[in-house]
Amino acid sequence: MDDNKLMNDVLGGGLRALTKLADSPLVERFGLHDRTRKLVYEGARRAAGAAQRFAPKSAGTSSEHSPKFDLSLSEEQQLMRDTLRRFADDVMQPAARQSDDSGAPPEGFLDTFAELGAIAMAVPEPLGGEAERASAVSQMLVAEDLARGDMGLAFAALSSLSFVNAVVHAGNEEQKALLLPPLVEGDGASAAVALVEPHPFFDPHSLRTVAKRKGGELVIVGEKSMVAVADQARRFLVAVDVPKVGPRFVVVERGADGLGVSRETAMGLGSAGLGRLSFNKVRVSEDAVLGGSAALEAQGRAKYDDAVNRGRVAWGAMALGTSQAMLDYVIPYCNERIAFGEPISHRQAVAFMIANIAIELESMRMLVYRAAARLDAGLPCEREAYLARTLCADKAMEIGTNGVQLLGGAGFIKDHPVETWYRQLRSIGVMDGNLLV
Amino acid sequence: MYLELPKHLRALKSQAHQIAKNVFRPISQKYDQAEHEYPKELDMLAALMDGLSAGGDKSGAGIAELKQEVVTAGVRNGSNMAACVGLTELCWGDVGLALTIPRQGLGNAAITAVANAEQKERFEGVWAAMAITEPGAGSDSANIRTTARIDGDEWVLNGEKIYVTAGSRADVVVVWATLDRNLGRAAIKSFLVPHGTPGMEVVRLDHKLGIRASDTASITLTDCRIPKGNLLGTEEIDTKKGFGGVMQTFDNTRPIVAGMAVGVARAALEHTRELLGASGVKVRYHGSLHHKSAVEAELIRMEADWEAGRLLMYKAAWMADNGIPNSVEASMSKAKAARVANAITLRCVELCGGQGYSQNELLEKWARDSKILDIFEGTQQIQLLIVARRLLGKRSAELR
């Protein structure tokens, strides 16, 4: 017996009648108010008692084991977090400015990152990694912490990791065996995900890059943009629309006939080594579809949708990291900057902007974390990921523009990193894919 | 990490929802129009809630249950989260009625937070209002002029209090008064003053923009004598500690107000979606936001902001339940949830046009009710000050 339902029946059925009764002039005129009240009390007491008795005896213990609202991190996540934060502070932040200018991560950056073992930590043990299990929350935390160092470099570092995450979640056994080991072992191999297309109203569910089926092969025509480490990646995971089937990912090897890779510069994220991919009748086997040719059946769609949600969580996490960097930067700046004889942070006009940065950042964080936690709990997540993306697109840019504003003229000058973050945070509303947790 | 409502609170949530739907909604308009008329239906509700707890339902959604927990083993989703969940549902029904449920006053939260064992026993089961604001002191509650002086075994209170929620209906008023105006915050204490005590008088009931089912009273205290034992907490003035006990109440009640905002905003969003749905508006969580109709995109944006308020409230309550200090998070949750609720309820009226503005629907009422949530228990601006001072490491003398 569902105690919850019993209680609701008792409450729901009776409440409306009691509300009417309470309002009846008769109740008051005949001095029935107190008696009616007693009646209600007794009814409720019995209903609650009955609900308790009907509840299975194990109810107490089972609720101990059912998940509780909990924001704490696992030991593994905390350990990874401490490591990555140091890496962000010591390696990424100092390198950010120059790699943004040069349009590529510094020499050896990806190797140093690979040595941290983040990829192994993303892959479950049975697949050759070191993770207890694949976790979207863990991957999201990685993205957040790296983006606190620098969003562009984080994009570069997370590129292979995203490829790995996609294969872990949607690859078939052969693909896992073939594609994961070189990346887990970190032999310099890198990979990238290519989903975003360079046109307005881009929607991962209506792609213009098309892969037509032809005699057991797919023939790909189209264009992908803002692909990280495009000039180094050995493999690309490309989102394509297969006519009459729908959107799917396919693995395309670098050097495939008809694949063009060109450098792309953008408002920000330059340090990721951005590139544009063009597909001029690139032929791949149907086995190259992520999940194998079986994924061309209807069930392949769910895996694709799942990947889109994972992409939204990843970019949400990027927004969190860079917004946090902004908050951490403007606080000491506004405390030290003197105008009119006192720190500008003593003015509400300034202090309230900072409070609002913190409030909206925490708002974004809660939505992104929740979407990630739902992925790990196996709960539907389309709505949550979409809402997280929507909030982050608005608020991250607000934080970006207000961060520059708080520094005034200094914010506009490249001596301070806030203008870089301003340019990077515009990407949150634009990027939808190319990374995933 | 898991950010969903735990299973053991779902029963409580649906019970509160039943009350909101079957008790509050049917009489919502009636008591909005009949301001100052006592909603006698609520006596039934109070009896029902007492019956539920006597019958063994220990979920404890009441305001009187609020407390900062001491750290225990394992994660707790306890009384703070339960109260947030309960009030959210009740305010989905009607904010004004939720504020006038007998024995669920803000004074009850103060009693739970600060009272000693003897006081708790003596005042068990009373309905307690909270009187802080004065004509000359609102947000700057350190500046209150109501005085308390000791005379033998009694406190003698003098002063004037306004905006006292449930001030005429409650059994007891928790009055904030200063022991010495020269000693600032630390000298401010709270006192339990039962109605009927000579010298305390309700002099006026306010006519309001919203929450009209709830009485808002002005109270005067003229040589009002109460027993010595009616002081909440200690009479010691520790200038190093500042407000101490009384302010701690707010860490527990602010997430509750956030919950109230979340409830009324959800009511408006749901009903607006229903009305607009009848005109063919759909809400889909896919596709480019910029390729949607303006109204669909706006509904999604509002929902995202609403979710943020809701989750920040859960976070602040979770911290309190697990013994983690949460002043900043409590303020953040109230700031975000309340401003978002006000914006959402107002926008929903506008989106529904004449239908939204008309009193044939409750949308306009919700837009009036929501405004108070961004004002009481600390205005939006006070929350921003609290957050900013903490982030910037500033004292209130520096960041004023």
| CB contact A202 to B (< 8 Å) | yes
Mutation for B interface: A366, A376, A379, most B CBs within 10 A: A366
| Mean pLDDT, all residues of chain B | 91
Burial class of residue A56 (count of CB atoms within 10 Å of its CB; 0-12, 13-18, 19+): exposed
B72 has pLDDT over 60: no
Comparing alpha-carbon positions, the chain B residue that sits nearest to A51 is: B57
Q: Which positions in chain B touch A364 (Cβ < 8 Å)?
A: 308
Q: Which residue has the higher pLDDT, B332 or B62?
A: B332
> For residue A10, what pLDDT band results from cuts at 50, 70 and 90?
low
DSSP A89: I
Helices (H) and strands (E) in chain A, counts: 16, 9
Q: Which residues of A touch B381 (CB under 8 A)?
A: 348, 352
Å between B175 CA and nearest CA of chain A: 31
User: CA-CA distance, B375 to B338, in Å (whole number)?
Assistant: 9
Assigned token pair, A109? 């950056």
pLDDT level of residue A42 (50, 70, 90 thresholds): confident
Half-sphere exposure of A10 (CA within 13 A, CB side): 23
The confidence score (pLDDT) of residue A254 equals 95
Structure tokens at A414: 């490249």
| Helix or strand (DSSP H, E) at A262 | strand A259-263
HSE-up of residue A184 (Cα within 13 Å, Cβ side): 21
Nearest residue of chain A to residue B57 (CA atoms) = A48
Answer whether B218's CB lies under 8 Å from B202's CB.
yes
pLDDT at B59: 47
**CB contact residues (below 8 A), chain A span 325-354, against chain B:** 327, 331, 334-335, 345-346, 348, 351-352, 354
Q: Which amino acid is at B132?
A: I
Of B4, B77, B388, the CB nearest to A352: B388
ipTM for this model: 0.94
**What's the rounded Cα separation, in Å, for the pair A109 and A105?**
6
**Beta-bridge mates of residue A178:** none
Q: Do B3 and A369 touch (CB under 8 A)?
A: yes
Encoding tokens for residue B320?
Answer: 């309190």
Q: Provide the whole-model pTM.
A: 0.92
Residue A50 has pLDDT above 70, yes or no: no
C-alpha span between A59 and A356 (Å, rounded): 43
For tokens 């700046």, what's the residue?
A333
Q: Determine whether the interchain pair A52/B300 forms a contact, defined as Cβ–Cβ distance below 8 Å.
A: no
DSSP output for A192-226: EEE---SSTT--TTS-S-EEEEETTEEEEEEEEEE
Shortest Cα distance from A215 to chain B (angstroms)? Answer: 32
Q: Given B10, B315, B387, which is nearest A358 (Cβ)?
A: B387
pLDDT over 70 for what percent of chain B?
Answer: 92
CB contact under 8 A, A372 and B27: no
Over the stretch A113-165, which tens digit does the pLDDT of each residue have?
Answer: 988 989 999 999 999 999 989 999 999 999 999 999 999 999 999 999 999 99
pLDDT tens-digit readout, B3-22 = 999 999 999 999 999 999 99
Q: In sequence order, what DSSP letters do the residues of B46-60 get, joined into one string?
A: HHHHHHHHHTT-TT-
Tens of pLDDT along A378-430? 999 999 999 999 999 999 999 999 999 999 999 999 999 999 999 999 999 99
- Contacts of A316 by beta carbon, 8 Å cutoff, 6+ apart: A140, A364, A367, A368, A371, A385, A388, A389, A392, A428
**A102 and chain B: CB distance < 8 Å anywhere?**
no
Q: Which residues of B touch A43 (CB under 8 A)?
A: 48, 51
Helix (H, G, I), strand (E, B) or coil at B251: helix
Q: How many contacts, defined by CB atoms under 8 Å, are there between A and B?
A: 257
**Chain B nearest CA to A364, separation (Å):** 7
Q: A70 and B2 in contact by Cβ < 8 A?
A: yes
Amino acid (one-letter) located at B219: I
Distance from CA of B323 to the nearest CA of A (A): 13
- At residue B251, the pLDDT reads 80
Tokens encoding A215: 């005699």
Residues B168 and B147: their CA atoms lie apart, in Å, by 21
For residue range B211-261, list pLDDT tens digits in order.
Answer: 999 999 999 999 999 999 999 988 888 777 666 566 677 788 899 999 999
Contact B318 A67 (CB under 8 A): no
Confidence of residue B321 (pLDDT cuts 50, 70, 90): very high
Smallest CA–CA distance from A207 into chain B, residue: B287
Helix, strand, or coil here: B77? coil
